[in-house]
Amino acid sequence: MTDELVSFQPATGEELWRGREGDVDAAVERARRAWPAWATQPSATRMELVRRFANEVRKDAEELAALIARETGKPLWEARTEVDSVVAKVEISIRAFAERTGQRKFDNGLQGTAAVRHKPHGVLAVLGPYNFPAHLPNGHIVPALVAGNTVIFKPSEKTPAVGEKLVSLFHRAGVPTSVVQVLQGGARIGQGLVGHEGIDGVLFTGSAHVGTAIHRQLAPRPDKIVALEMGGNNPLVVWDTPKIADAAALIVQSAFLSAGQRCTAARRLIVKDSLFDSVIGAVKKLADRLIVGAPFDEPAPFMGPVIDMTAADTLTESFLYLLGHGARPIKHLQRPRPDLPFVSPAIIEVTAATERLDVELFGPLLQVMRVDDFDQAIAQANATRFGLAAGLIGGSPEQYEYFWAGVRAGIVNWNRPTTGASSAAPFGGIGLSGNHRPSAFYAADYCAFPVASMEMEQPRAQIGVGLKDD
């Protein structure tokens, strides 16, 4: 049985795409049949094909950016940066494959030669998110293909059109249609794909709730590779600095870029008490100036809507919940269009709150608190089950080193936003943010497995002890 999927544009409510859920069994069967031929291709051939894919993306860059903007609601300028990241990922993945899964041979004396090579896993399922519907799944698809795996990509059911377009560009570049497939569907299709006997691994980007469910589903199957790239309740600490305006700009970029819908977005702002009024005043003043609008508006908005009304309602309810537990509003969350999921940037102080939410509030809602000393700031930063990104603004080099050593996160920045991680570095976290398999440059690590060999051109052996006389 298949169900119909419909994608609506967050900024307008208009229908964008309509289609049917895919067939898990048929997709897996095609991928398994295609895998041996793809895996035995020279790696140079696979690399050339993904380079052709990058060229196809360049040809359709503006069309793809417009589609991303319409389906996610993000501003067109931001959608264009996502397309640029899709292109850049190809060369980064090729370089990572060479550096992290390269072949090595070394002399083993009388034992001949020792070698280390890598093999692909087989058929990998890639489950993508809606916030970066092209860039983030592409960060799994390209490394998986380069390593010799076949891929079944299930986009978020909220962004099926972008997923369909992305895979069509692989096919247009010459990657066989059975080697990379798009499988549309919701939770039922995702669960069926993850649990399918013919899948050799799952590469997931999304919420901790879904990632934990995948981990639980595959717990009895240690033979399947699982890479979980999940969200965060990310802290940003502000300490001694005379550059209040710059600090405010970094905070706004960290908390409100992409309407707060980045897994690395700052959710919690921890400020030295003596700086609190000046810093928060500057942040509020800048946040008041942010343009919230539709993707193609002029002048260009800083941020668009969140993905749908459910997300907007959850943010509204979370803001009211915090107010009901002693939090103090600094900038109220507003809904300028009750019929559409536009949400204004919101700031709320939780220093005296009786309860703080250790969840990923996926939107432009920043919780702020004041602290007296640096150790207390680090303790508050670590007061979370997540561990994706953390940042320090201000402070001395010695304090940054102390912060870096003490904070628990997979990404630790100094005087930079928590958002905007480099694809040329590993990207991942600890706790509920991931399972110690960082993506980006380190995706090569889980797209192939190392094989150790001892080799001689002719058999040579004898048993020197424990034998009866001949």
Cα(294)–Cα(362) distance, rounded to whole angstroms?
Answer: 19
Q: What is the distance in angstroms between the CA of the first residue and the CA of the last residue of the chain?
A: 72
Is 62 noted as a catalytic residue in this protein? no
Which of 82, 229, 349, 360 is flagged as catalytic? 229
Closest CA to 12 of 344, 343, 342, 257: 342
- Token digits of residue 1: 């049985």
Is 263 noted as a catalytic residue in this protein? yes
Which of 56, 263, 349, 360 is flagged as catalytic? 263
Contact 161, 17 (CB under 8 A): yes
Cα(443)–Cα(441) distance, rounded to whole angstroms?
Answer: 6
3-state helix, strand, coil in the chain (%, to 5): 40, 20, 40
Which amino acid belongs to residue 283? V
Backbone phi, then psi, for 182, in 5-degree steps? Answer: -100, 135
CA distances from 86 to 98, 132, 366, 393 (A): 19, 10, 29, 30
CA distances from 37 to 93, 103, 126, 140, 298 (A): 21, 21, 20, 21, 50
User: Would you name the residues annotated as active-site residues?
Assistant: 229, 263
